[in-house]
Amino acid sequence: MRGPERLVLLGHPVEHSLSPRMQRAALKSAGIALDYEAIDIDPLAFDSLIGRLRELNAGGNVTIPYKERMRIACDEVTPIADLVGAVNTFWFDERRRLIGDNTDVGGFKAAVRDVMGSDPSELTVGVVGAGGAAAAVLAAIESWDRCIAHVYNRTPERARILCERFRSVANPVDDIGAVAGAQLVVNATSVGLRDDAFPLDPSMIAPGAVVVDLVYRPGETAWVKAARTRGHRSRDGIAMLVEQGALAFERWFGVTADRAAMWEAIPKS
């Protein structure tokens, strides 16, 4: 399988991202002589950059705020990316058609298995957020056994629209207390990425609930730390980051990613 000739991460901002460290470790382990570059891109430059990447036969990842925009730019998307409505992994095929995939779903499922020990069954999940990350969460929930989701967003209409796409498992809620009362509570927003803000007051979370934050920061997010202090099993977004990155690597090159090397490349504090 012919892989990309250049690898990039597209987003705004991207300076916090650990993906370059992680993917460079995977590339080195596989003996692939490529670098992985993070590009902080202005929204007005997005379309022209896609054209340049097509010429370079590039592949890569997409992060906030471009996952939905990349979905629209693609010539073809995988079924899971179509379901989620967002693309976080892309490459060009032999005809230079832009192909999009979503490995966030697999990444989220791995993060939940990491903290819970198995895929959930008969569980209520509370989700904060209604963007591409929340859609990936709902796609994962849809694949679990008899699980349902309560979705809260500060713009209720966005939550309603998202839940309509996943109506078999998701319903919008106006009261964040419904999210806090779930057995698994997920932050699918960017709150806590740049500071110690909480997407949800940890004191509201039901006793025994598991907490998963899709945001990651060196040394964990403040929300995860606060939840753990209150006795909750908690994980930040690192497990999801590694698995979605490993799955992306496998899409690009058709070889197994060295997950141990990727974990080792991540700073511990």
Residues annotated as catalytic (active site), given as ranges:
67
Tokens 């080792």 belong to which residue? 264
b (16+ CB within 10 A) / e for 155-181: eeebbeebbeebeebbebbeebebbbb
CA distances from 85 to 136, 158, 241 (A): 9, 14, 19
d(CA 268, CA 263): 10
Closest CA to 133 of 155, 113, 107, 157: 107
Cβ-contact 80, 101 below 8 angstroms: yes
| Residue 219, SS3 per DSSP | coil
